[in-house]
Structures are given as structure tokens and as C-alpha cells.
Amino acid sequence: MSKITQDLLRAIQPNTSVSRPTLVLIILVQVIIALFAWYSSSEILPRPPEIFSAFGRLMKGGDLIRELFTSMTLCVQAMGLAILISLALSYLTVLPFFRPTAFIVSKGRFLTLVGLSFVFTLLTSGGHNLKLSLMVFGITVFFVTSATAMIQAIPKTEFNHARTLGMSEWQTVGEVIILGRLHEVFEIIRQNFAISWMMLTMVEGISRAEGGIGAMLLNQNKHLHLDAVFAIQILILLVGISMDYLIGVLKNIICPYASLSLERR
């Protein structure tokens, strides 16, 4: 029995790993199956050549790149502000005074941005500030939920170990919660970036003053240009995957110890 055959058999067994060539083969087979299903689906859905042609049309004049840059700028700004606000509030939950505030903020994830758009319109000036405030709110409520849950899940033994080393309570917070869980913070950032990137099209649809990839997508969808819609969706997917990978690389550079004890890296 060849090595690839053995690897293929291992691929359907739990808690095993396969070689890189076998993994590439599995991916190719799955891609071929997906493309076959795509081509054999309803004729209403655009085919890959049509999508590629639509992508070329959107690229002419630089409109697509310009709108993508506008959306990326908004998303990065919103993520930066949300990370600062969320981490500050989450770390402050070590003080009982701030725990009710974090609890209330975390429950804001059940509110819809469409229903809050009028409130934020009154509180902000300009389309950019409206979109930015909606994005920051939408990210913060989920980020605080994950970050506070992370802090609450830290074993008591880690705090006691820091105290036995003679650390003060604030030093314990710095070592155990902030530095000791930095790798988990990166994972929370990855998850919330995906949420924000998915939320972006809706927010840009609420206020189309500055344009953006979401506004372009909604305009193409309004006129039933499905080939252009799929082209923009694929671009959104590829950019999202790239950013997710970049955050993962930064995590491995800054926190190389995070994957040392993992079975699947």
C-alpha cells in the first residue's frame, strides 16, 4: 500500500494528520467537486468565466480598488477603536465597580444596528462618523463578551501561583490576565474582525455617502447584476481570508509559545 493511500485512509480517522502532498490532493478533489456542483447548478447563477469578466469590468477605472480601500480604512479604524475600548473595559472587570458596566455592554449584542442607526445619526455628524460609530458599537459588544469570558475562565491556581511569587494584585493582573492571555486576545481579534468585515456591507448600505465595497455590492444587487455581485463577494471573501491569515501570523510572531502544547497546529 502506497504512502498516499495510507494517508488517505488516515484522513478519515479521528485525531490523525496527513502529509502535505496528501492534503493538497484532498483540497484539489474538493475544489473539483465544488466547481462541478457550481457548473451543474441553476443557470440563474453566473459561471466562473462570467464572474471573471465582471471582475475585469469593475476593475476598469479603479472603482473597485478605490471602494475597497475606503471599506478597509473604515474597518481598520473601527477595529482599532473597538479593541482599545473593549480591552480597557474587559481588563477593568478585575475591579467589581466595572463588572456591571461590562455585563450591560455585552448584552448589547442582541440589539440590531438598523434599529440603532437613527440614534447614532443624532449623536454623530457626517456619514463617516455614523458608519464608524455603528461599526465600533457592533464590534465592542461582541469583543467585550468574549474578553470577559476569557478572563473569567482563567484558573484560580494561576492567580495563586503569581501571589506566591510575591506579586501584588496589579502585578498579578498584568502577568496572568494581560500578558498570560495575549494569545487568546489575538484569537478574539480574529473572530471579531470577521464579524466586522461581514457587518461592513450593511453599515455602508445605511450610509452610502462615502461609497465603499458594501455600497457597490448593494448597487449591483439592486440592478440584478449577479455576475458583478459574485465578483464582489469573492473579493470580500479573499480579503477577509487574507486579513485573518495576517492576524494569525502576527499572533505566531508575538506569541510563539501559544502553539507549543497543541496537538493540531
Domain ranges of the chain: 3-39, 48-259
Is residue 265 pLDDT above 70, yes or no? no
Is residue 41 pLDDT above 90, yes or no? no
Homologous superfamily (CATH) of 48-259 is MetI-like (1.10.3720.10)
Model confidence over 234-256: pLDDT tens digits? 999 999 999 999 999 999 898 88
Which cell numbers in the block locate residue 162? Answer: 503569581
Burial (Cβ within 10 Å: 0-12, 13-18, ≥19) of residue 143:
buried
Model confidence over 122-149: pLDDT tens digits? 888 878 888 999 999 999 999 999 999 9
Query: Quick one: average pLDDT of 49-76?
Result: 87
Query: Quick one: average pLDDT of 104-109?
Result: 92
pLDDT attached to residue 144:
96
pLDDT attached to residue 42:
66
b/e per residue, 207-230, with b = 16+ CB within 10 A?
beebbbbbbbbbbbbeeebbbbbb
Is residue 216 pLDDT above 70, yes or no? yes
Counted residue by residue, the chain has a size of 265
Is residue 58 pLDDT above 90, yes or no? no
Is residue 76 pLDDT above 70, yes or no? yes
Is residue 232 pLDDT above 80, yes or no? yes
When pLDDT is cut at 50, 70 and 90, the band that residue 262 belongs to is low
Is residue 18 pLDDT above 90, yes or no? no
pLDDT attached to residue 260:
65
Positive or negative, the Cα torsion across 71, 74, 77, 79? Answer: negative
Residue 199 · residue 74 · CB < 8 Å: no
Query: Quick one: average pLDDT of 59-74?
Result: 86
3-state secondary structure of 13: coil
> What's the whole-number average pLDDT of the chain?
87
Backbone angles phi, psi at 94, to 5 degrees: -65, -20
Is residue 95 pLDDT above 90, yes or no? yes
pLDDT attached to residue 85:
96
Of 86 and 265, more confident = 86
When pLDDT is cut at 50, 70 and 90, the band that residue 15 belongs to is confident
